[in-house]
Amino acid sequence: TSDHLRHVDSMSILPSGAGRISKLNALILGDSLASEEDDLIFPSPSFSSQALVPSPQKYMEMYSRSIKDPAGFWSDIASDFYWKTRWGPQVYSENLDIRKGNIKIEWFKGGITNICYNCLDRHVESGNGDKVAFFWEGNEPGFDAMLTYSQLLSRVCQLANYLKDVGICKGDAVIIYLPMLMELPIAMLACSRIGAVHSVVFAGFSAESLAQRIMDCKPKVVITCNAVQRGSKIIYLKDIVDAALTESAENGVAVDVCLTYANELAMKKESTKWKEGRDIWWQDVVPNHPSACDIEWVDAEDPLFLLYTSGSTGKPKGVLHTTGGYMVYTATTFKYAFDYKPSDVYWCTADCGWITGHSYVTYGPLLNGATVVVFEGAPNYPNAGRCWEIVDKFKVSIFYTAPTLVRSLMREGDQHVKRYSRKSLRVLGSVGEPINPSAWRWFFNVVGDSRCPISDTWWQTETGGFLITPLPGAWPQKPGSATFPFFGVQPVIVDEKGVEIEGECSGYLCVKASWPGAFRTLYGDHERYETTYFSAFPGYYFSGDGCSRDKDGYHWLTGRVDDVINVSGHRIGTAEVESALVSHPQCAEAAVVGVEHEVKGQGIYAFVSLVEGVPYSEELRKSLITTVRNQIGAFAAPDKIHWAPGLPKTRSGKIMRRILRKIASRQLNELGDTSTLADPSVVDQLIALSDA
For the CA atoms of 519, 524, 527, 530, the dihedral, rounded to the nearest 10 degrees, stands at -10
- DSSP-assigned beta bridge partners for residue 106: 93
Segment near ligand WTA (CB under 6 A), from 66-74, 116-124, 425-433, 438-446? 425-433
**Sites for ligand WTA among residues 523-552 (CB under 6 A):** 543-545
Q: Supply the DSSP symbol for 29.
A: T
The yes or no reply on residue 351 touching ligand WTA (CB under 6 A) is no
Query: Which of residues 279, 433, 504, 550 is near ligand WTA by CB under 6 A?
Result: 433
- DSSP-assigned beta bridge partners for residue 156: none
The yes or no reply on residue 311 touching ligand WTA (CB under 6 A) is no
Query: Which of residues 128, 460, 490, 665 is near ligand WTA by CB under 6 A?
Result: 460
Q: Which is nearer to ligand WTA, 433 or 563 (CB)?
A: 433
Q: Which is nearer to ligand WTA, 385 or 491 (CB)?
A: 491
The yes or no reply on residue 56 touching ligand WTA (CB under 6 A) is no
The yes or no reply on residue 186 touching ligand WTA (CB under 6 A) is no
Query: Which of residues 123, 193, 555, 571 is near ligand WTA by CB under 6 A?
Result: 571
The yes or no reply on residue 368 touching ligand WTA (CB under 6 A) is no
Asked if residues 222 and 240 have their Cβ atoms less than 8 Å apart, the reply is no
Is position 562 annotated as part of the catalytic site? yes
Q: CB 430 → ligand WTA: shortest distance, Å?
A: 6
> Is residue 3 within a helix (H) or strand (E), and if so which, with residue range?
helix 2-13
List, as own/partner pairs, every contact residues 607-611 make where C-beta atoms lie below 8 angstroms and the sequence separation is at least 24, other chains included: 607/642, 607/644, 607/647, 607/660, 607/664, 607/686, 608/581, 608/641, 608/642, 608/643, 608/644, 609/644, 609/645, 609/646, 609/647, 610/586, 610/643, 611/585, 611/586, 611/587
Segment near ligand WTA (CB under 6 A), from 69-77, 149-157, 558-566, 574-582? 558-566
Q: Which is nearer to ligand WTA, 385 or 633 (CB)?
A: 633
Asked if residues 60 and 53 have their Cβ atoms less than 8 Å apart, the reply is no
Q: CB 466 → ligand WTA: shortest distance, Å?
A: 9
Q: Which is nearer to ligand WTA, 394 or 540 (CB)?
A: 540
Q: Which is nearer to ligand WTA, 209 or 430 (CB)?
A: 430
Q: CB 373 → ligand WTA: shortest distance, Å?
A: 19
Which has the closest alpha carbon to 692: 640, 634, 654?
640
Quickly count: other Cβ atoms within 10 Å of residue 66's Cβ: 20
Q: CB 330 → ligand WTA: shortest distance, Å?
A: 12
Q: Which is nearer to ligand WTA, 188 or 608 (CB)?
A: 188
The yes or no reply on residue 400 touching ligand WTA (CB under 6 A) is no
Q: CB 307 → ligand WTA: shortest distance, Å?
A: 9
Q: CB 185 → ligand WTA: shortest distance, Å?
A: 18
State phi, psi for 378 to the nearest 5 degrees: -100, 140
The yes or no reply on residue 459 touching ligand WTA (CB under 6 A) is yes
Angular region, 50: left φ>0, alpha ψ -120 to 50, beta rest: alpha
The yes or no reply on residue 557 touching ligand WTA (CB under 6 A) is yes
CA atoms within 13 A on the CB side of 422: 24
Quickly count: other Cβ atoms within 10 Å of residue 575's Cβ: 17
The yes or no reply on residue 354 touching ligand WTA (CB under 6 A) is yes
Range list of H helices, 166-307: 183-193, 207-217, 237-250, 282-285
Angular region, 303: left φ>0, alpha ψ -120 to 50, beta rest: beta
The active-site residue out of 495, 562, 563, 679 is 562
Residues binding ligand WTA: number (CB under 6 A)? 24
* Residue span 7-46 as binding mask against ligand WTA, x where in contact by CB under 6 A, dash where not: ----------------------------------------
The yes or no reply on residue 461 touching ligand WTA (CB under 6 A) is yes
Which has the closest alpha carbon to 661: 652, 670, 653?
670
> Is residue 440 within a helix (H) or strand (E), and if so which, with residue range?
helix 437-442
The yes or no reply on residue 472 touching ligand WTA (CB under 6 A) is no
Which has the closest alpha carbon to 229: 181, 284, 177?
181
CA distance 482 to 498: 23
Range list of H helices, 514-604: 526-534, 574-582
Q: Which is nearer to ligand WTA, 108 or 459 (CB)?
A: 459
The yes or no reply on residue 434 touching ligand WTA (CB under 6 A) is yes
CA distance 103 to 519: 11
The yes or no reply on residue 432 touching ligand WTA (CB under 6 A) is yes
Quickly count: other Cβ atoms within 10 Å of residue 254's Cβ: 13
Q: CB 413 → ligand WTA: shortest distance, Å?
A: 25
The yes or no reply on residue 482 touching ligand WTA (CB under 6 A) is yes
Q: CB 547 → ligand WTA: shortest distance, Å?
A: 9
- Applying CB under 6 A, the residues found at the interface with ligand WTA are 309, 354-356, 430-434, 456-461, 482, 543-545, 557, 559-560, 566, 571
- Positions annotated as catalytic residues are 562
